[in-house]
Amino acid sequence: MIVTRLLLTPICHVAPPGIPGDVVRVSDGGVEIYLLPDEFAAHTEVSLRARLAQGQSTGCDADDGTRSATAGSTDQDGGHRSGA
C-alpha cells in the first residue's frame, strides 16, 4: 500500500515532506482512492486495504481499476508505506 499526500494548488502535486497535504491518495498499485486527511486518519490499515480490495477508484485522476500493479513502486512523498 502506497500513501501519497497531494496538494490542491498546484492541483494534485505531491506535498513536500512534513506537509499533510489537502488530499491523501492511497494505492495498491492498481486501484487508487482519495481521502481528505481527516478521513485518512480515521481509517485503519485494514479498512484501507478493504476499500482497495473492493476496486473502488475515486478522485481527480481515477481510472477503472484495470491498471496493472507495478512491482517495487516507491513512496513518492516521504509519507509512509505499509508492508504488502
The fraction of the chain above a pLDDT of 90, given in percent, is 49
Nearest to 5 by CA among 84, 82, 78, 83: 78
Q: What is the mean pLDDT of residues 64-71?
A: 33
Write down the pLDDT at residue 47: 93
Please give the Cα distance from 4 to 62 (Å, whole number): 14
Q: What is the pLDDT of residue 78?
A: 43
Does the pTM of the predicted model rise above 0.75?
no
Burial level of 49, CB count in 10 A (0-12/13-18/19+)? middle
Strand, coil or helix: 53: helix
DSSP bridge pairs for 14:
6
Tell me the three cell numbers of residue 56.
473502488
Greater confidence (60 vs 18) lies with 18
